[in-house]
Amino acid sequence: QGQLVESGGGLVQAGGSLRLSCAASGRTFSTYAMGWFRQAPGKEREFVAAITWSGGATGYRNSVKDRFAISRDNSKNTVFLQMNSLKPDDTAVYYCAVDRRWRRPDIATNEGEYDSWGQGTQVTVSS
C-alpha cells in the first residue's frame, strides 16, 4: 500500500499562504493521480484538488480555484498544494490520497476513488 505523510500545515492569518507537501514512500506513485481532500470540524471530508499521474491535468473545487495550485514531482514521489489568499473557511485537516486507478486520464473528485490516505495536516486560518 505504501505510506503518505503530509506536512506544511499550521496557523496563518486570513490572506496568508501555506504550502502543503505529501511525501509518498513504500511504492511508486508516479503512475497514479494524487488528490487533496479536507475535513472541517463537524463536516464531511471534501475534495479540494487533484492532479493526473503525468501532471498534465488538474482539477479543483470551485471555492479554491484561482487560490490553490496542486503540483507534483514524480522524481521525489511528492505532491504539493500551494494555498494562497487563505480564508477562515479553509480551516480543516488536509489529507492527500492516491487514486486507485492506474493512469486515470481524468480527475476523480469522489473520495471512494482513492485508496491510500495520509494522516492529515491541520490548517487553521484566523480572521
Give me the mean pLDDT over the 84-95 stretch: 98
Band of the pLDDT at 25, cuts 50, 70, 90?
confident
Q: pLDDT tens-digit profile of 33-76?
A: 999 999 999 999 999 999 999 999 999 999 999 999 999 999 99
Q: Please state the φ and ψ torsions of residue 126, each to the nearest 5 degrees.
A: -90, 150
Mean pLDDT value across residues 119-126: 97
Kindly indicate the confidence band of residue 14, based on its pLDDT and cuts at 50, 70 and 90. Answer: very high
pLDDT at residue 61, rounded to an integer:
98
Rounded-to-integer distance, Cα 14 and Cα 85, Å? 7
User: Taking residues 6-11, what's their average pLDDT?
Assistant: 98
* Per-residue three-class SS string for 38-103: EECCCCCCEEEEEECCCCCCEEECHHHCCCEEEEEEHHHCEEEEEECCCCHHHCEEEEEEEEEEEC
- Rounded Cα–Cα distance for residues 47 and 111 (Å): 7
- pLDDT tens, position by position, 90-118: 999 999 999 999 999 999 999 999 989 99
Question: ∠32-37-40 over CA atoms, to 5°?
Answer: 165
pLDDT surpasses 90 at 4: yes
Quick one: cell of 68? 490553490
